[in-house]
Amino acid sequence: MSAAAEAFIDSNVLLYLVSADARKADLAERLLAQGGVMSVQVLNEFASVASRKFGMPWREIREVLDVARGLCSIVPVGLDTHDRALELLQRHSLSVHDALIVAAALGAGCKTLWSEDLQHGKRFAAQLTVRNPFLASRPAGG
């Protein structure tokens, strides 16, 4: 697996591509350009928030999703991911959405989870480390 494929990108990072925060938008763009992995859930969460909260037109939402799909591997959220998420949310007191993100990242064999929503440095299954790319001046490789 390449270094880019070892990184899972959470929906909050994708959302910063279209935010008014230029610094975070630039960081998100550089991170996405490195490639990585996302789940279908990430794509759905982006579409929901971009339309509901940001009021983006669907044409623009689809354009961002097309870019993300072109740069990243997209993994499904199936029953195995669901079952692993249930274990994670009980063990780590995560929300269902966060547990599904972590489960998808683990299932994809990722080593880094780029997310602003989870605790920076938190490790899961001695394999996956959460990194908040907005704490540093630039995102680093996985």
Q: Per-domain residue ranges for the chain?
A: 7-131
- Residue 3: the pLDDT is 53
Pick out the chain residues at pLDDT < 50.
1, 137-140, 142
- Residue 139: the pLDDT is 47
Residues facing residue 68 across a β-bridge: none
- Residue 29: the pLDDT is 94
Give CATH for domain 7-131: 3.40.50.1010
List of long-range contacts for 128-135, beta carbons under 8 Å, 24+ apart: 128/8, 128/102, 133/13, 133/27, 133/28, 133/31, 134/16, 134/24, 134/27
DSSP secondary structure string for all residues of 46-75: HHHHHHHTS---HHHHHHHHHHHHHHEEEE
